[in-house]
Structure 1
């Protein structure tokens, strides 16, 4: 993706409530992160969907969407107030923003959110995923 997820992680790192952010290959990498009361964010690839080409000549052009997730981890004594702050800042950072990337053709939009993990050990550890999509367009040569 030629730096796409690194650029997304840089955008997430710009949120004041985020202590650190980086691109990662999957949400499971959060298990090896040192997590504290300030949000740690991993930006990971999510579902990528492409439409079937309606017609093709010498070049094929298809639209689709590239999904990414901001996986956020916090520990006790952080709680709902911190979670709400991180959520609001990530939404403000990404909703309506268009990243400069050759495949991306429009602004990011929200796809949902979900709790990935909760552990009561050591007073609590929460891992949430805030999901987004980027509208995409790809053009490539027809092959025979």
Structure 2
């Protein structure tokens, strides 16, 4: 699924789907990327791969095929307390933009897998980072094995 993470970002950056998200980007290291952003009361969404698991291969011939479950994250980043009202709105919009969507090459639609608080500093100008986890099943096929 070449371009999968770019497609996720495009959905989150679409103002018709997620008007509460001010910027969206792909990053391999969400925490490091967040350090480079100017956070505000509106939500920034950083998309990153988290893990993957694969089902066992049942048979192998000229081609090997197996289902992989990709877990990816959307880190919501904003300042506190200014962005407090935006957090829930953006969370709902992000989940609505991704849940049930079947990206090209996916075996099943994207599902919400849970969330985790990464950082919450309540002082003025503090930060709020919350990770939303999603999963999608992908049918991967590999070439001839010897």
TM-score by length of 1: 0.90
Q: CA RMSD in A?
A: 1.4
Alpha-carbon distance between aligned partners in 1 of 2:125 and 2:28, rounded to the nearest angstrom: 28
Contact 2:34 2:77 in 1 (8 A): yes
1:21 paired residue among 19, 24, 32: 24
- Structure 1 runs (4+) deviating above 4 angstroms are none
TM-score (norm 2): 0.89
| Counterpart pick for 2:91 among 63, 87, 91 | 87
- Higher alpha-carbon deviation: 56-65 or 113-122: 113-122
Equivalent position to 1:78, from 56, 80, 83: 83
CA contact (8 A) 1:45 1:68 kept: yes
Aligned residues: 141
Alignment of 1:1-144 (within 5 A): 2-14=2-14, 15-28=18-31, 29-76=33-80, 77-79=82-84, 81-100=85-104, 102=105, 104-144=106-146
Unaligned runs of 5+ in 2: none
- Paired with 1:99 and 1:136, the residues of 2 have a C-alpha distance of 9
Residue aligned with 1:122, SS: coil
Q: Is the 8 A contact 1:36 1:74 kept in 2?
A: yes
